[in-house]
Amino acid sequence: MWQKRPKAYDMAKRVVISGIGVISSIGFGREDFWNALISGTSGISTITSFDTSEFSTHLGGEVKSFDPARYLSPQKIRSIGRASQLAIAAAKLALEDSQLKLTPEICERIGLALGTTMW
């Protein structure tokens, strides 16, 4: 569906990054990730979550020790895949990091930028 072109004054609105949520092979959450990053911690190790025998490499930045129950209900865990679990956990960490109080007005104006290394 086509949307109306934004008015010029709409283009001048500021974007504010108010929270960051990270789920990675070197840490969960902004602080753990940053500390591991600046200390030079490598998240590359032998992949254990699936069979790599058909691949030319057996190393990767695998997210280990992720417990979806910290972020999701048992019903949700059963109904969605691991990639979605990781994305929801990262979004929840970003929201927690932002310390935003979710009001109806804020919910209408909030956005999310999600990045992943999955291809």
In angstroms, rounded to a whole number, what is the distance separating the alpha carbons of residues 20 and 114? Answer: 10
Beta bridge partners of 103: none
Q: Which two tokens stand for residue 6?
A: 């934004």
Domain boundaries, the chain: 20-109
In angstroms, what CA-CA distances link 32 with 22, 36, 49, 78, 93? 9, 6, 22, 28, 12
- Per cent of the chain over pLDDT 70 is 87
For residue 6, what pLDDT is reported? 59
In angstroms, what CA-CA distances link 82 with 68, 78, 98, 118? 9, 10, 24, 12
Beta bridge partners of 46: 59
pLDDT band at 14 (very low <50, low <70, confident <90, very high): confident
Query: pLDDT tens digit string along 22-40?
Result: 999 999 999 999 999 999 9
In angstroms, rounded to a whole number, what is the distance separating the alpha carbons of residues 44 and 106? Answer: 38
* Res. 86: pLDDT tops 90: yes
Count CB neighbours of 35 within 10 A.
13
